[in-house]
Amino acid sequence: MNLTQLRAFHAVARERSFTKAARAARVSQPTLSGQVGALEATHRVRLLERRGRGAEPTAIGQALYELANRLFALEEEAEALLEGRDSAAPRAHIRVAADGPVHAVPILAAMKKRFPGLTFYLGTGNSAEVLKQLFDYDADVGVMARMVSDPRLHTLAYRRDRLVLFVPARHPLARAGRIGLADLTGTDLVLRERGSITREVFETALAEAGIRPRALVEAESREAVREAVGAGFGIGVVFESELPPDRRFAVLEVSDAALAVGEYVVCLAERRRLPLVRAFLEMAAVLGSVPPITLTSRKSGNR
């Protein structure tokens, strides 16, 4: 098999675009297209469906993409082992998947100070999506609020966070500061999508307390949750660290439910000794020992 052609295919399948893949690989699009076409012709298979400016892997293309992920990850590990490569190398690049940027960015910022040549990719999604990226070798390390017991994974407890509620500054509950779950009976709530740890933890707390809200509005990002609450769709539920100071909102603590959640850094156990992955884990351990800034000291109520 021609590895140059395989790398070309891998780049296009990853980017879902010949144009983006060519730009990332710093080659011309015709060159990249020719390499992928040659790979398909040699093995008499169709690996990509060309759709306008996009490209989607076929079934066999997706299977090959996942194998190529593993192959190139192992190649990287072999090079690091044989060369004793320093994670501070100018071309060092790390891919991070996180269920939100708020906990991942401080680690990356600390790494950037230590390794000025570092570049990174930060993708966000819920915990299930983070795990999928790790197992598909699309990410080197993940940061998420779900503890997973899986022998294939290495997990580091990073920080603690908690869920809080927030309402528009003119909401009747805005000056309350603290409320009980019973106060949510018959209210409208704005929550993240199913599969998110935010949704899972809060719905569990409601179910255990026997609380039934009037309606649930689903939003697929933290920004969408904030905007929906600001527009009056209901009471929002987010992690405390995800709600920056905003005069539009008042924060409410829940007084009668355990809504604390751990944040974890996770990677494939087989990749934990890669220089950049190891450095990321070390940085997380250092930062995790320092209590993060929370809303506890902020004044609840009108902002």
Residue 167: predicted pLDDT? 94
Mean pLDDT by 10 residues, the chain (303 residues): 88 88 84 91 92 86 87 74 53 85 92 86 89 88 90 91 91 90 92 85 91 88 89 91 87 88 91 87 85 40 31
Provide the domain limits for residue 182: 160-260
Which pTM does this prediction carry? Answer: 0.64
Domain boundary among 34, 60, 82: 82
Q: Total structural domains in the chain?
A: 2
Asked if residue 195 lies in contact with residue 127, where contact means CB atoms within 8 angstroms, the answer is yes
CATH number at 253 reads: 3.40.190.10
C-alpha to C-alpha distance for 124 and 97, rounded to whole angstroms: 6
User: Is 23 a domain residue?
Assistant: yes
CATH number at 43 reads: 1.10.10.10
Backbone φ and ψ for 62, nearest 5 degrees, come out as: -65, -40
Residue 293: predicted pLDDT? 42
How large a percentage of the chain has pLDDT more than 90?
35
Residue 290: predicted pLDDT? 54
Token pair, residue 66, equals 């996942």
User: Is 75 a domain residue?
Assistant: yes
User: Is 133 a domain residue?
Assistant: no
Residue 296: predicted pLDDT? 37
What sign has the CA pseudo-torsion 86, 89, 95, 101? positive
Q: Going by C-beta distance under 8 Å and a sequence separation of 6 or more, which residues neighbour residue 51?
A: none
